[in-house]
Amino acid sequence: MNEEEREEGSPVGRRVVLGMLGLGVAGVAVGASVQDRVSRALAPVGPVGDVLPAAGGFRYYSVTGSVKRRDAATHRVTVGGLVDKPQAFAMADLARLPQTRLERDFQCVTGWRVPDVEWVGVALPDLLDAVGVSPKARAVTFTSFDEVYTESLTLEQARRRDVLVATQMEGRPVTHDHGGPTRLYVAPMYGYKSLKWLGGINLTEELVPGYWENRGYDVHAWVGRSNGRDDAPT
Ligand SMILES: Nc1nc2c(c(=O)[nH]1)N[C@H]1C(S)=C(S)[C@@H](COP(=O)(O)O)O[C@H]1N2
Ligand SMILES: [Mo]
């Protein structure tokens, strides 16, 4: 895991979730060690825009205990729903589409941030053009092969060129821990939109809120302008 810190089951920070539920920490059966780790992880959080001083880097997040690895050779991303030509994209198919490179900060809603992360992949609008979006479609749902996590975007958001089906991170294939072989990367939004272990993309009429959105987080997760952070000091 190297510099990464495992925080299984604490995807956006337990304290934030507890706060939202109005529960005290004592009211939840959480092992002391887990609690300590989370507190430490959250301790350096400053106003939005601060860079974490800690050895930093990504924290590993998964709402499920362990996720079955997918071999890049057999992995497919299926695109279906309200499209003209549903298709299961192999890595080689994705590689044949135009490649987009982005270098952006990665920011979790709890406050940790990794500056200047390089991503390469297929911009979602290019993938959508490849299958042809039906005029009825208004939103996009993303499913993870962890079989639990989901995310969604409006069609307008999904057509942004800074939203990727990422296949590379920091110059290498996206690792399993970071959601490889394919992960969603939504540059302008908080990390929870960037669904890991992307297996399915579905065009829908209505927007279906994702995993954390069903637990109180904003569907439109613009960095600095959502989740009660609109008035955050700069
Ligand atoms: N499938 C899945 N995707 C996920 C999550 C998750 O728990 N499961 N956590 C999200 C959150 S809250 C963040 S901040 C980032 C963390 O990415 P990392 O684990 O690569 O650091 O992944 C996002 N995507
Ligand atoms: Mo997060």
Low-confidence winner among 30-34, 61-65, 128-132, 219-223 (lowest mean pLDDT): 30-34
C-alpha 216/C-alpha 121 separation (Å) is 30
Ligand nearest to the CA of 61: 1
Q: Does the CB atom of residue 190 touch ligand 1 within 6 A?
A: no
> What pLDDT score does 198 carry?
98
Q: Does the CB atom of residue 195 touch ligand 1 within 6 A?
A: yes
Mean pLDDT of 44-50: 33
114 Cα–ligand 1 center, Å: 13
Per DSSP bridges, beta strands 87-90 and 163-169 are unpaired
> What pLDDT score does 85 carry?
98
68 Cα–ligand 2 center, Å: 21
Q: Which atom of ligand 1 is nearest to the CA of 178?
A: 20
pLDDT digits (tens, 9 = 90+) for 94-147: 999 999 999 999 999 988 999 999 999 999 999 999 999 999 999 999 999 999
How far CA 30 is from CA of 61, 62, 209, in Å, comes to 17, 17, 27
Helix (H, G, I), strand (E, B) or coil at 27: helix
Around 53, how many Cα atoms within 13 Å sit in the side-chain half-sphere? 5
Among 106, 163, 192, name the best residue to mutate to test ligand 1's pocket (greatest count of ligand atoms within 8 A of Cβ).
192
Q: Which atom of ligand 1 is nearest to the CA of 148?
A: 1
Q: Does the CB atom of residue 215 touch ligand 1 within 6 A?
A: no
pLDDT digits (tens, 9 = 90+) for 76-98: 999 999 999 999 999 999 999 99
Helix (H, G, I), strand (E, B) or coil at 198: strand
Quote the percentage of the chain above a pLDDT of 70.
74
Q: Is residue 152 predicted with pLDDT exceeding 50?
A: yes
Per DSSP bridges, beta strands 87-90 and 100-107 are unpaired
Cα dihedral 41, 46, 50, 56, rounded to 10, equals -10
> What pLDDT score does 232 carry?
45
Among 196, 214, 226, 227, name the best residue to mutate to test ligand 1's pocket (greatest count of ligand atoms within 8 A of Cβ).
196
The residue contributing the CA closest to ligand 1 atom 7 is: 62
Q: Is residue 17 predicted with pLDDT exceeding 50?
A: no
- Residue-range domains of the chain with CATH: 67-215 (3.90.420.10)
Q: Does the CB atom of residue 191 touch ligand 1 within 6 A?
A: yes
State the greatest distance between any 2 C-alpha atoms of the chain, in Å, as a whole number: 53
> What pLDDT score does 57 carry?
81
135 Cα–ligand 1 center, Å: 31
Q: Is residue 194 predicted with pLDDT exceeding 50?
A: yes
Q: Is residue 180 predicted with pLDDT exceeding 70?
A: yes
Mean pLDDT estimate for the chain: 81
C-alpha 23/C-alpha 216 separation (Å) is 14
Residue written as tokens 């490889």? 180
> What pLDDT score does 230 carry?
64
> What pLDDT score does 231 carry?
52
The residue type of 231 is D
Mean pLDDT of 222-234: 75
Q: Does the CB atom of residue 117 touch ligand 1 within 6 A?
A: no
> What pLDDT score does 37 carry?
37
The residue contributing the CA closest to ligand 1 atom 12 is: 192
> What pLDDT score does 216 carry?
94
Which two structure tokens, joined as six digits, stand for 120?
A: 């390469």
C-alpha 189/C-alpha 150 separation (Å) is 15
> What pLDDT score does 55 carry?
43
> What pLDDT score does 111 carry?
87
The residue contributing the CA closest to ligand 1 atom 2 is: 196
Around 107, how many Cα atoms within 13 Å sit in the side-chain half-sphere? 23
Cα dihedral sign, 179-184-185-186: negative
Q: Confirm if 128 and 122 have CB atoms less than 8 A apart.
A: no
26 Cα–ligand 2 center, Å: 23
